Amino acid sequence: MLHKIGGQYGQKIKWYGTRTDRRISWQCYGDTYQEIYDYLMSAGVIDQIEDDPIDIARLAKVGLTLGDFEKKYEDELDKKDFYTVFDDIAKVPEITDEEIKEVILGERGNAYYQEFSLWDEEEKDYIED
């Protein structure tokens, strides 16, 4: 059973994922990998059981785990919102759209098999990325 979870045909990026038993699959479209990620999160295809995978990837860029971050900024976290400390005090860098693509591919809890296709303007169709 195919679940269409966001976007529309003709946008720059198409994502397709399926469970290991291939009985359930998902498809969505977006103009950025961030947009695809947001659709997947809202549909529950990517589970945010405890921590946002993008936050984990951002911390990895500066060599920190979430535990390291919480320990290092313990005092600030007692007084301020997590993202205020994360963005304004620790200045954890954003990740690129390509890095968001890698985060999506790393999240295999529901959609173990995944593929991206990119819109080809000449062909007026998607080609595998």
Q: Show me where the domains of the chain are located.
A: 1-47+107-129, 49-95
Give CA 108 to chain center in angstroms: 11
CB neighbour list of residue 17: distance below 8 Å, 6 or more residues apart: 25, 26, 27, 45, 110, 111, 112, 113, 114, 115
Per residue in 85-120, pLDDT tens?
988 888 889 999 999 999 999 988 889 999 999 999
Residue 49 has pLDDT above 80, yes or no: no
Residue 47 has pLDDT above 80, yes or no: no
pTM of the model: 0.85
Residue 129 has pLDDT above 90, yes or no: no
pLDDT score recorded for residue 108 = 85
pLDDT score recorded for residue 31 = 97
Residue 42 has pLDDT above 80, yes or no: yes
pLDDT score recorded for residue 48 = 65
Residue 69 has pLDDT above 80, yes or no: yes
Write the burial class of residue 51 (CB in 10 Å: 0-12 exposed, 13-18 middle, 19+ buried). exposed
Per residue in 51-63, pLDDT tens?
889 999 999 998 9
Write the burial class of residue 83 (CB in 10 Å: 0-12 exposed, 13-18 middle, 19+ buried). exposed
List 116's β-bridge partners, or say none. 15
117 SS3 class: strand
Other Cβ atoms within 10 Å of 1 Cβ, number = 6
